[in-house]
Amino acid sequence: AMRSLQGKVVCAANDKTVAVEVIRLAPHPKYKRRVKKKKTYQAHDPTNQFKVGDTVQLEKRRPISKTKTFWAVPA
């Protein structure tokens, strides 16, 4: 199955590209408490419809460029 993630747009300055920050909970290696882990993904936005602060769904697709393998879809 294709991976789908949800996150918040943190940068929309580039043409047809948005940077999306995805937060997940993972157990701490020593203390076993769940801690927040953040990662930023570059996503394709062909119509430049998303602005900073929007919540988007990321769909895994074929690679578009060196850093972009996700498409941004409204959440």
CB atoms within 10 A of CB 58: 23
* Domain range summary for the chain, segments of one domain joined by +: 5-74
Distance CA 51, CA 13 (A): 9
| pLDDT single digits (tens) 36-68 | 999 999 999 999 999 999 999 999 999 999 999
Q: Which CATH class is domain 5-74?
A: mainly beta
| pLDDT single digits (tens) 16-29 | 999 999 999 999 99
Q: Which amino acid is at 54?
A: D
Backbone angles phi, psi at 22, to 5 degrees: -110, 130
Q: What is the pLDDT at residue 3?
A: 78
